[in-house]
A = this chain, B = another copy of it.
Amino acid sequence: MKRALGMGEIMIQMNPTEKGALRFQTLFERHVAGSEANTIIQMQRLGIECSFLTSVGSDEFGKVILSTLRSEGVNTEGVIEDEKNPTAVYFVQRSYPVPEKTMVFYYRKGSAASNYGPQYLKDSYFDGIDLFLVSGITPALSDSCRDAAIKAIDMAKKHGALVAFDTNIRINLLKTKENALKTLEPFIRKADILFTGAGDLSMLFDGDLEKSKESMKKMADVAKLIVFKKGSGGVEAFTGGKRYSMPSYKVPVIDELGAGDACDGAFLASYLSGKSIEESLKYANVAGAITVSLKGDIEPLPDWKAIETFLNVHEAGEKKLLR
The docked-state distance in angstroms from the alpha carbon of A20 to that of B295 is 8
| Copies assembled | 6
A102: CB under 8 A from chain B? yes
B72-A67 in contact (CB<8A): yes
A98-B309 in contact (CB<8A): yes
A222: CB under 8 A from chain B? no
A96: CB under 8 A from chain B? yes
A231 interface neighbour in B299, B313, B318, Cβ under 8 Å: B318
The docked-state distance in angstroms from the alpha carbon of A307 to that of B93 is 15
Flag A88-102 by CB within 8 Å of B: 1 or 0 each: 010101011111111
B70-A296 in contact (CB<8A): no
A95-B200 in contact (CB<8A): no
A307-B97 in contact (CB<8A): yes
Q: Count of A residues near B, CB < 8 Å?
A: 84
Query: Chain A: interface secondary structure?
Result: mixed
Q: Are A89 and B107 also in contact (CB < 8 A) when A96-B300, A172-B323, A295-B18 are?
A: yes
A219: CB under 8 A from chain B? no
A26-B24 in contact (CB<8A): no
A60-B170 in contact (CB<8A): no
A181: CB under 8 A from chain B? no
The docked-state distance in angstroms from the alpha carbon of A253 to that of B73 is 35
Give every chain B residue within 8 A of A314 (Cβ-Cβ): 98
Give every chain B residue within 8 A of A96 (Cβ-Cβ): 290, 294, 300, 306
The docked-state distance in angstroms from the alpha carbon of A295 to that of B17 is 12
Give every chain B residue within 8 A of A322 (Cβ-Cβ): 98, 101-103, 171
A73-B71 in contact (CB<8A): no
The docked-state distance in angstroms from the alpha carbon of A203 to that of B199 is 47
A30-B30 in contact (CB<8A): no
The docked-state distance in angstroms from the alpha carbon of A252 to that of B71 is 32
B97-A309 in contact (CB<8A): yes
A170-B109 in contact (CB<8A): no
In the A-B complex, the 7 residue pairs with the smallest Cβ-Cβ separation, listed nearest first, are: A97-B306, A71-B71, A22-B60, A67-B71, A99-B293, A24-B299, A199-B321
Binding site for B on A (CB under 8 A): 14, 17-30, 59-61, 63-64, 67-68, 70-73, 86, 89, 91, 93, 95-105, 107, 109-110, 169-172, 197-200, 202-203, 209, 230-233, 251-252, 254, 289-290, 293-296, 299-300, 302, 305-307, 309-310, 313-314, 318-323
Known A-B contacts: A22-B61, A27-B30, A169-B321. Give 18 more (CB < 8 A).
A23-B67, A24-B296, A25-B30, A26-B26, A27-B28, A67-B71, A89-B107, A95-B293, A96-B290, A97-B307, A100-B251, A103-B322, A109-B110, A170-B323, A171-B321, A197-B318, A199-B318, A199-B321
